[in-house]
Structure formats: structure tokens, C-alpha cells
Amino acid sequence: MSKQPSLRQKIYTVIFEAETPGGRNFDVLLLLMILLSVLTVSLESVVALHREYFDYFRILEWFFTIIFTIEYILRIYSSPRPIKYIFSGFGIVDFLSIVPTYLSFFVLGSQYFAVVRVLRLLRAARIFKLTRFINEGQILTQALRASLTKITVFLGAVLTMVVVIGSIMYIVEGAERGFTSIPVSIYWAIVTLTTVGYGDIAPATPLGQILASFVMIMGYGIIAVPTGIVSVELANIEKLSINTKVCPSCHKEGHAPDANFCSNCGHSFEKA
Amino acid sequence: MSKQPSLRQKIYTVIFEAETPGGRNFDVLLLLMILLSVLTVSLESVVALHREYFDYFRILEWFFTIIFTIEYILRIYSSPRPIKYIFSGFGIVDFLSIVPTYLSFFVLGSQYFAVVRVLRLLRAARIFKLTRFINEGQILTQALRASLTKITVFLGAVLTMVVVIGSIMYIVEGAERGFTSIPVSIYWAIVTLTTVGYGDIAPATPLGQILASFVMIMGYGIIAVPTGIVSVELANIEKLSINTKVCPSCHKEGHAPDANFCSNCGHSFEKA
Amino acid sequence: MSKQPSLRQKIYTVIFEAETPGGRNFDVLLLLMILLSVLTVSLESVVALHREYFDYFRILEWFFTIIFTIEYILRIYSSPRPIKYIFSGFGIVDFLSIVPTYLSFFVLGSQYFAVVRVLRLLRAARIFKLTRFINEGQILTQALRASLTKITVFLGAVLTMVVVIGSIMYIVEGAERGFTSIPVSIYWAIVTLTTVGYGDIAPATPLGQILASFVMIMGYGIIAVPTGIVSVELANIEKLSINTKVCPSCHKEGHAPDANFCSNCGHSFEKA
Amino acid sequence: MSKQPSLRQKIYTVIFEAETPGGRNFDVLLLLMILLSVLTVSLESVVALHREYFDYFRILEWFFTIIFTIEYILRIYSSPRPIKYIFSGFGIVDFLSIVPTYLSFFVLGSQYFAVVRVLRLLRAARIFKLTRFINEGQILTQALRASLTKITVFLGAVLTMVVVIGSIMYIVEGAERGFTSIPVSIYWAIVTLTTVGYGDIAPATPLGQILASFVMIMGYGIIAVPTGIVSVELANIEKLSINTKVCPSCHKEGHAPDANFCSNCGHSFEKA
């Protein structure tokens, strides 16, 4: 490691590591490139802009694709285990980011699939690695993972409800009032229970409106459940991550991480 | 019990118990059957599919009905107390799951009532009995039950509000702007207060829009109440389920982890 | 008080008190009457029903009005301080409950104001006085009162935001896209920020949609604030109402209300 | 300071300070003026009113503008550091409050920008300085600031999701069903995920409705996250503001109420 690093090693450091100044700059540049390329694909889909600036979009599109292709090849070249990289989550996203443009020769409209590039932003998250963001992100992820079983049970109950409600409304309101089939009625039940309420389908019969009122009040009540679950888990995790200092003398728990003395017996927490 | 089990006992074990391999497999198969039969009824209600695949739907429908009928008869046959089973919640759902198809000979469209089968999924929940799901489900149910009185009081207040608001809006906006009657206006008030907001009925006069604004901001504020209730109850229950220091003398549960004496009988928790 | 009560005292006991069997029955009957009279007014407003059952509605309407008028007169007669009763909150509601029907001789449609009777349900709440409902209701009211200052500050901030957003959207979208004036645009901002989203007014220009997106995400974020406030206050009040037992020997707080011994020093909480 | 104050000092006391009776009255008057002027601009934008009361609006508009101009000049005159005031946040808002009316000579419709005056209400918040409002406001602000990092991480994740969902829906539903471009589809995704649900754009294909259902249920779940974050932070801050046992030796705050020794310097909290 102390001898002169090879070109491959140098590339690896810049592309895969975020701690060196080179790696840092590369990541910032990459983040910018991804954002601009996603913006290009998005704006290209606007008909008025697409017609007027067709050529510019083509050029930008190919510019980003070639850049990302070179990056992809360099990643494979410099990676110590290229096969593992190719089939990793990031490797697949990197591949899917460049394929749509090449495919657009053969399949019309396929270039819009290039928005998958937005997933590459997750890679850019490394820039924030050294900051407090990563820590907060971990707490959130941890809280969500801890709530997962409860939320699964809850969602199971909600889905059963939605199927029953949708079927009843299909029978009550019928096809001529927009509830054209049971799947469509289930879709309506989801739109209503989540309080989204598009209004593309809405009950018109008195009985349907009474049933819908029950569904809405129920939805209002059960929106409380996932919120309660996540709140409690977040509070638990925060409590655990704060109160991790135990007094070695009187074994009282719950000291703040920056405490120097035990608040119960006055024992010093210093090493000596 | 140690002698050879009869056929009836064998059937009972497979159908009613989940702990044996046979019972386990039966439950997984049943879960699959229920899901497929619900899917069949749902898709059958889609007009385009109904026309094209009419015969297939008939066959599938009867296939599931016959399977469930046989299962229902076997349950009655093997149950030690058949009458009790028939009139239990599960027994009624099992019965309602097969009746609609037979009724469809006489009453058109009655086969859609067969979606009641989705309620049978609750029975399949037994499969998860051995996992942590059941425990989490109990915590949720317990939290909801503990919140029930508070949520009832809250819902009573909300319903009174909704009647008053609906009546005022009926007088302010009037029939020509969609508020055709007080019940319809109450329906609108529920749609608005729960933030569903279909937009099929919306205030059009300045005074109506001002009143609606108050209702919305109020709804925004009171959505907080059920959430707060459930969060607090969930937190309480989790706290209790963590602090399960049980008194070895009087077996009272729920002592704080740092308690030195039982709060019920005064028994010392110290070892000696 | 030990001598024979006068007729006036007897009426007072039945009408104003809920503890005696007579008072109890009166309250249940009153609750039923109020519910039925509100239902009558509501259904009367449905055009189809109004036409068909016009006479029945008239009769029912006058029946309830006369009953409530007699009750009102008896209340004034039996009350020890009639003037104070007449100008109390309940007295005014009682008066407003009977006036609309008499006014309907002179003013068309005024009978619908009789729905104000629903407010009389609050009086019927006395029936629940002896149950746990009143206690839970107090906890909720207490939590809301404790949150009031915070929620006022919060609502002040929201209202300022809504005025600024509405004005900007009026300039951006303009009258031809439904944002016909600043008050209407403020109404739209409230509809959007509270996530009601009728869709009667919706941004159509790209700039308007971008601004609306910010408003929605903001609304999504700030919906958290009142919920958080109420949750915390509820938790505080529950904690206080549970942990109200202090050990007289070691002064440790936080014993459960049904504790017999101090969990810290084992001191008995019994009187002797 | 003990000598006779100059006119400039007197003006400064009235305009910039809220503690004296003069300053107090000035603030109340200013608050009223701002509210009335915002109301004037709002109502002026209503076409019907604008036509009928054109002259009154002109007069009121100029009345408020001249008052605010005099106030602005007096503020600059009496301020000890006029340049600093002019370029402070409040100074800029004060300036922007009067400019639109003067500009309306040259630019049509620019007078509506005068609603920026509503931001001046923040200045009027000084009236509440002496009350408990300011304290509650600080707790809220503190809780939001503490949640900021977590909410940023959360919003980053939501925005990435919204771009991916919007792009997929653009491909699935297509321009002929209202999803005219990727930016519009992203707008739809935000409208749906925040449960606003205007209904101006709604999925019409079965695949689109299935995808939308997933988005809605997801939105339902993740609405829990910011609520949980703010609740926990609010609870933490309230806890700290209650447990303000301060060490008399090193002045470190935030010791638990039952602490016997300072956790920072080991100082004993016992009296002796």
C-alpha cells in the first residue's frame, strides 16, 4: 500500500471512495450530472419544449449517456470484483441509467425510462456520509424497521376492509354511477380511506353516501394508527440512543452521553 | 388420547388445528383458495372480462363453491359441538361464503355477495399464530380498545359538529349549488372535515367558502386528537410490556424495573 | 328540606337533576326527543320526501315544538333563578330550539334553523355523567386547553402563510383559471394546505403547479405540528393523573393509584 | 439618559419599543392598520366590488400607503443605525409594503403585491411579547429546528420517490389521460402522496389505478413519519423545560429532578 498506486487504484479511489478530496469532488460533480440529466428527461417530455428544442434535447441526452457510460466502464475496470459490482443493486441501476438512450434507436419513447437515473441519487448520498444526515437517516430507518411488523398487521387489516367496502359499494352504487366493477370500487375505497378523495368516482345514492361517510370517519380514525406506531418507535430509539451510560458504581442507568459524574452517587465516569 | 384416533378426530386435527404439519398445509392451501376465489369474484365484475371469459368464471366459481361446501360439511361433521360452530362468527362467515353462488340460480347478480369470503382470511390468520405477528396484533388491538372511550367521546363531538355545520351550509348555499338537503350537507361536512374532499359538492358563495374554510382549519386541528390518543395508549402499553417485573409473592405484574418492593404486597425484590 | 316538597321542587328535581330515577328517565326521553326532532328537520329538507309527506312533517314538527315549549316554560317556572337560566348558554339554546317553528308562519324556510336543537344534545350528556365518559371527556378537554396557546401561535402562522400564498397564486394563475380574487385564492390555499383538495379550483400553469407543490409538501409537513402538540399534552395529562401517589416515608413519587406499598422503601400505604 | 430626551429619542421609544404605554398603543394601532390594509387589497381584487367601489378603494389604498410611508421615514429618521434597519428583514418588508401602490402608476395590477404587508404582522407579534405566546412560539420553533435534519432526510426520500412515481405514471397513463408530461405527472404524484387529491388529473387505466393505490397507501403510511418526528422532539423539549434543575456550581442545565449529583462536575445537590 505504501508503494506508488497504479492507475486502476487511483481511479478506484476517485470513483468509489468519498473521503479523499478527489473522491469528494467526483461525487459532487456526479450528483450535479444526475440532477441535470433527470431534469433533461423530464423537460423533454413536455410536448411544447420537445418540439421547439428537439435537437438540444438529443445532444444533452447523448452527452449525459456517454458520460455515464464512461463512468460505468471505469467502475467495472477499477472494481476489485467487477462481477459482484455488475450484479449489485447500484450496478444494475447504473446499467439501467444508460440503456434507455441506446434502446431509443429501436423502441420509440423508451428514452423516458432514463428517469431511472434518479435512483442514482442514492449513490450521491455518500457526500453526506460525513455529516449528521447519515445518523438521522439511520434513526428514521431503524424506527421504520421496528414498526414494520405492526404496520404489516395494520395494512393487512386495512386491505381486507378495503376489499369488503369496495364490494359492498359496487352492489349499492352500481356500474352506472362510476363503480363499474369490484376492482374499481376497491380503488375508490382506497382513494377514500386514505383521504385522497379525487372525486372522479363519488357515491350518488343516499345509501352509498351513508356508507361512504362511515368509511371516511373510519379512515379518519385509523390514520391515527400508523402515526402512533412510528411516534412510539421513534421515541423508543431516541431514548435508547441517548441513555446508554450506566454508572459502574451504583448501576443507575439513563445518564446523558456527555455526563462526567453519576447523578445518583457522584461516581466519576473518567477513566483513571 | 393414546389409542388410534378415529377418522373424525383426524379430520378435526387437520381442519381446526394449526400446530400439526397436516393442519399447517391445510391452512396455507385454504388461504390460497380464499385469495383466488376473491380474485375470481372481483375480476368477474369487470364487464369486459365477464363477457369474454364467461364460461371460465362459471367453472371457477363453482369449483371454489364446491370445495368450500365440502370444507363446511367436514367442519360440521368433525366439530365436537357442531351447533356451536354453526352459529359462531366463523361458522356464519363460512356459510355466507357458499350461499351466494347457489342463490345465483334464483337471484341475478347475487354471486357478487360471495366477496364476503374475504372475511375468511381472518381464519387464515392462524397460520401466523406462531410468529410475532399475533403479538403485535394484540398490542394494536389493546391500544385501540384502551382508546375506545376517548375516541367515542371525540366522535360524539365530531358528529354533533357535522350536523350543525351541515345544516348551516344547507341554509347558506342552498339546493341550487349542490347542497340539496340537510343529509346531503352533512355528507359534505363529513367529506370536508375528514379532508377527503371529493369536490362533487363544493361551496360557491363567498359566505359558504368562509364557513368551509373554518371547517377545514378545524378539521386540520382535530385530526390531531385521535392520533394523539392512539399514540399515548400505544406508548403506555409498550411501556407496560417492557416493565414486566412480576412480584414472586403475589404475582402482580407491571412493576417498574427499578422497584425494590412489590407495590401490592410489600414483598422485597432483593435476592437475599 | 325534610318537609313535603312542593310541585315546583318536584318539577325541578325531574328536569334539572340526573341522579334521581325520575330525572334519569326524563333525560333519556329528552335525548330521544331531540334526536328524533333533528332527524325530522333533516329529512324534511329532502325535496322528494318533503313533497310526499308534507303533512306528516308539519304534524311532527309542531309536536316536537309544543313539547319543547312546555319543557321550556317548566324550566323557567321551576328554576330558582329564572332570569339567570334564560340568559345562560343552555337557556338560549333551549329558546332558539322552539322559535324557528313559530317564525315559519312569517319567514319561509326558517324552520330549518330548528336544527340548532342538536346543540341540546350537550344537555343530554348529563346522562353519561355517572360513567367513565365524563372523565375521558375531561382529559380530552384538558389536553386541548393546555395545547390552546401553542395551537393559537401555530394557527396565526398558518393564516399569515395562507394570505401570502393566496395572493401570490392570484397574481400567478389569474382570474381566468378560477383564481378570481385574492379571497378566493386564500380559500384555495386553505383547501390545499389542509389536504382537503376539492379540485373546484386547481392550478393550471406550470409556475402555479410548482408553487402548489411547495404548498402541499409544506402542508404535509405542518400537519405534524398540531398532532405533536396534542399528543404531548395528552401524554403529560395522563402521566399526571396516573402518578399521583407519593410515599409518605421516602417521598418517592409516581406510585400507581392502586399501590399498597411503596416500591422504593416498602412502606405500607394503608391508614393504620 | 437622565436628561430630557430629544424628539428623535421620543419617536424611537414609541415606534421601536413595546414596553412603554405609547409604544404599546402604537403597536396595537399598527396591527389594526396592517389588517385593514390587507383586507382592502384583498377585497379590491374581487371584480364586482372593484367596479362598484373603485373610488373608495383608491382612497383607502392611498391612505394606508401614505401612513406607512410616514412610518417608514420616521423609522429611518429615529433609528440609531438607519442603514442597518433599511437592509434588515423588517426594513425590506416595510419598504415592499409601500412600493406597489406607487408602482401602480406605471405597472397595471402591481397594487396587489401590496399584500406583502401581511408579513408586517410579524412585527406586530411584539404586542404579545410580554405574554406566554412568545414562550410557546419558541418551544414550537425549537422543536421544528431540532426536527429539521430528520425532516430534510425524509423530504429528500419523498422527492426521489415522487420523481420515480411520476415518471412511471407518465409512461403508464400517457398524455391523453391528463399525464401530459413528466413534470405534470410529478405534480400529480405530489397531489396524491400528500392526500390533497384535486382530481384534475386521475388515473384511468387499470394498471395506473393499481399503481396509484400503492402510492396512496404508501402516502398514508409515510404521513406518519413527520408527525412522529415532531411529536418526539416536542416531547423532548418539554421534558427539558420541565426538568430544569441547574447545577449551582457549574451551571449546567437539564438535570433530572431526582438527581443527587451534577452529571458534569459531580457537585452534590444536597443542602448541607
Q: Which residues contact D161 (CB under 8 A, 6 or more apart)?
A: D189, D193, D218
Domain ranges (residues) in chain A: 7-129, 137-236
Residue C271 has a pLDDT of 47
Show residues of chain A in contact with D212, CB under 8 Å: 187, 191
Show residues of chain A in contact with B223, CB under 8 Å: 220, 223
Local structure of C265: helix, strand or coil? coil
Show residues of chain C in contact with D181, CB under 8 Å: none
Of B41, B133, B234, the CB nearest to A153: B133
Rounded-to-integer distance, Cα A75 and Cα A82, Å? 8
Confidence of residue C260 (pLDDT cuts 50, 70, 90): low
- Residue D143 pLDDT > 90: no
Q: Would you call C144 and B183 a contact, using CB atoms and an 8 Å cutoff?
A: no
Q: What confidence tens digit (pLDDT) does each residue in C185-212 have? A: 999 999 998 888 888 889 989 999 999 9
Is-contact B205 A206, C-beta < 8 A? no
Q: Would you call C199 and A195 a contact, using CB atoms and an 8 Å cutoff?
A: no
The residue of chain C nearest to residue B259, with distances taken between CA atoms, is C263
Identify the residue with better confidence: D172 or D122: D172
Measure Cα distances from A167 to A22, A160, A272, B116, C216 in Å. 60, 11, 72, 9, 32
Over chain B (272 residues), the average pLDDT of each successive run of 10 is: 72 78 82 86 84 87 90 89 87 85 77 72 56 62 74 79 87 86 92 89 91 86 76 72 56 57 66 43
Identify the residue with better confidence: D16 or D253: D16
Is-contact C118 B160, C-beta < 8 A? yes
Q: In chain D, pLDDT over 70 holds for what percent of residues? A: 77
Q: Would you call D233 and C235 a contact, using CB atoms and an 8 Å cutoff?
A: no
- Residue C5 pLDDT > 50: yes
Show residues of chain A in contact with B136, CB under 8 Å: 149-150, 153
ipTM, two decimals: 0.77
Q: Would you call A182 and B109 a contact, using CB atoms and an 8 Å cutoff?
A: no
User: Contacts for C110-114 with beta carbons within 8 Å, 24 or more apart?
Assistant: C111/C41, C111/C44, C111/C61, C112/B167, C112/B170, C112/B171, C112/B182, C112/C41, C112/C44, C112/C45, C113/B167, C113/B171, C114/C37, C114/C41, C114/C61, C114/C65
Q: Which of D227, D233, D234 to mutate to test the interface with B (most CBs of B within 10 A)?
A: D227
Q: What confidence tens digit (pLDDT) does each residue in C134-162 have? A: 566 677 777 777 777 777 777 877 888 88
Q: Would you call A150 and B143 a contact, using CB atoms and an 8 Å cutoff?
A: no
Q: Mind telling me how many Å the CA of C98 is from chain D's nearest CA?
A: 38
Q: Would you call C149 and D139 a contact, using CB atoms and an 8 Å cutoff?
A: no
Q: Which of C39, C140, C225, C227 to mutate to test the interface with A (most CBs of A within 10 A)?
A: C227
Q: Would you call A199 and C199 a contact, using CB atoms and an 8 Å cutoff?
A: yes
Residue A147 has a pLDDT of 75
**Chain C 130-149, residues with CB within 8 Å of chain A CB atoms:** none
Q: Would you call A198 and C195 a contact, using CB atoms and an 8 Å cutoff?
A: no
Q: Mind telling me how many Å the CA of B81 is from chain C's nearest CA?
A: 39
Q: Report the Cα–Cα distance between both ends of chain D, in Å, rounded.
A: 46
Question: Going residue by residue through chain A (272 aa), what tens digit of pLDDT does each one get?
Answer: 456 778 888 888 888 776 778 887 888 888 888 888 888 888 888 888 888 888 888 899 889 989 999 999 998 998 888 899 899 878 888 888 888 888 877 777 667 777 777 777 666 555 554 445 556 667 777 777 777 777 777 787 788 888 888 888 988 888 888 898 889 999 999 999 988 888 888 998 999 999 999 888 888 777 777 777 777 777 777 665 544 455 666 666 555 555 666 666 666 765 43
Q: What confidence tens digit (pLDDT) does each residue in A109-127 have? A: 667 777 777 777 666 555 5
Q: Mind telling me how many Å the CA of B229 is from chain D's nearest CA?
A: 13
Show residues of chain D in contact with B197, CB under 8 Å: 196-197
Q: Would you call A228 and B223 a contact, using CB atoms and an 8 Å cutoff?
A: no
Residue D149 has a pLDDT of 74
Q: Mind telling me how many Å the CA of A109 is from chain C's nearest CA?
A: 23
The residue of chain D nearest to residue A154, with distances taken between CA atoms, is D221
Residue D211 has a pLDDT of 92
Show residues of chain A in contact with B132, CB under 8 Å: 149
Q: Would you call C191 and B197 a contact, using CB atoms and an 8 Å cutoff?
A: yes
Average pLDDT score over chain C: 78
Residue C189 has a pLDDT of 93
Q: Would you call B45 and A153 a contact, using CB atoms and an 8 Å cutoff?
A: no
Residue A130 has a pLDDT of 42
Show residues of chain A in contact with D206, CB under 8 Å: 183
- pTM for this entry: 0.80
Residue C247 has a pLDDT of 61
Q: Which of D231, D232, D234, D236 to mutate to test the interface with B (most CBs of B within 10 A)?
A: D231
Q: Mind telling me how many Å the CA of A229 is from chain B's nearest CA?
A: 7
Residue A248 has a pLDDT of 61
Q: Mind telling me how many Å the CA of A117 is from chain D's nearest CA?
A: 9
The grid cell for D257 is 429532578
The residue of chain C nearest to residue B192, with distances taken between CA atoms, is C196
Is-contact D268 D261, C-beta < 8 A? yes
- The helix/strand count (H/E) of chain B reads as 11, 0
Rounded-to-integer distance, Cα A220 and Cα A209, Å? 16
Q: Would you call C199 and A198 a contact, using CB atoms and an 8 Å cutoff?
A: yes
Is-contact D255 A260, C-beta < 8 A? no
A neighbour chains, 3+ CB pairs within 8 Å: B, C, D
Rg (CA), chain B: 27
Confidence of residue C1 (pLDDT cuts 50, 70, 90): very low
The residue of chain A nearest to residue B225, with distances taken between CA atoms, is A224
Q: Stretch C55-80: mean pLDDT, rounded?
A: 89
The C-alpha angle A94, A100, A102, rounded to 5 degrees, equals: 105
Rounded-to-integer distance, Cα A163 and Cα C116, Å? 38
Cβ contacts below 8 Å, chain B against chain C, sum to: 169
Of D133, D191, D229, the CB nearest to C153: D133
Q: What confidence tens digit (pLDDT) does each residue in D192-235 have? A: 988 888 888 899 899 999 999 988 888 877 777 777 777 777 77
> Where are the alpha helices (H) located in chain C, listed in sequence order?
7-16, 21-44, 47-52, 54-78, 82-86, 89-103, 121-124, 133-173, 182-193, 206-222, 224-242
Of B45, B119, B228, the CB nearest to A164: B119
Residue A172 has a pLDDT of 87
Rounded-to-integer distance, Cα B125 and Cα B135, Å? 12
The grid cell for B37 is 376465489
Show residues of chain D in contact with C209, CB under 8 Å: 183-184, 187
Q: What confidence tens digit (pLDDT) does each residue in A124-139 have? A: 555 554 445 556 667 7
Residue B207 has a pLDDT of 92
Q: Which of B191, B210, B230, B231 to mutate to test the interface with D (most CBs of D within 10 A)?
A: B231
CATH fold for the domain made of C137-236? Helix Hairpins (1.10.287)
- Residue C270 pLDDT > 60: no
Helix (H) / strand (E) element for D74: namely: helix D54-78
Q: What confidence tens digit (pLDDT) does each residue in D105-132 have? A: 777 767 777 777 777 766 655 555 444 5
Q: Mind telling me how many Å the CA of D172 is from chain A's nearest CA?
A: 11
Of D199, D227, D231, the CB nearest to B199: D199
Q: Would you call D150 and A143 a contact, using CB atoms and an 8 Å cutoff?
A: no
**Chain C 179-238, residues with CB within 8 Å of chain B CB atoms:** 183-184, 186-187, 190-191, 193-200, 223, 226-227, 229-231, 233-235, 238
C153 touches chain B (CB under 8 A): no
Q: What confidence tens digit (pLDDT) does each residue in A212-245 have? A: 998 888 887 777 777 777 777 777 776 655 444 5
Cβ contacts below 8 Å, chain B against chain D, sum to: 9
Residue D130 has a pLDDT of 42
C neighbour chains, 3+ CB pairs within 8 Å: A, B, D
The matching CATH number, chosen from 3.30.420.250, 3.40.950.10, 1.20.120.350, 1.20.1270.360, for B7-129 is 1.20.120.350
Is-contact B224 A231, C-beta < 8 A? no
Is-contact B269 C269, C-beta < 8 A? no
Show residues of chain D in contact with B231, CB under 8 Å: 231
